[in-house]
Amino acid sequence: MKNVKATLLALTTAVSAIAISAPSQAAMNPYMESALIEVCKAAQSNSVQKLNQTTKSYRLKNKTVALKLMCNGEDVISFAESNGADKTAAKLQHSIGQVGITDIAAVSKLKVTF
């Protein structure tokens, strides 16, 4: 009987915690929403200067924008490219950096003579 009460209490607590936290995750701050819309518009404009000014005015990093921002269901780089904004797409792609894989076993060979 104690296990049933404990399980019921835990379940009730979990459900109420989810009910309280769910609306806070679903709603977006209006300031943040307008900031992200402005960044999407700047990426669409094909003006690197406008993109830099917009991200700096909202204190956002280009790398964070490039990796996490979605504009109209696309990531911001694809969104810029699909709207013909090649300069801003290249700038955002460059901000991500390069990723390389090096096989250390194939690169470093030791020669031993005896």
Tens of pLDDT, residues 7-50: 544 445 555 545 454 454 557 788 989 999 999 999 999 999 99
pLDDT value of residue 91: 92
DSSP alpha helix (H) spans, 27-103: 30-44, 48-57, 62-68, 76-82, 86-96
Q: How far apart are CA 96 and CA 16, in angstroms?
A: 40
Tokens 């104690």 correspond to 2
Assigned token pair, 110: 């030791």
Looking at the whole model, is its pTM more than 0.85?
Answer: no
What would the pLDDT profile of 47-103 be if each residue is shown by its tens digit? 999 999 999 999 999 999 999 999 998 899 999 999 999 999 999 999 988 666 666
Question: How does 36-49 read in b/e, with b if 16+ C-beta sit within 10 Å?
Answer: bebbbebbbbbbbe
pLDDT value of residue 27: 72
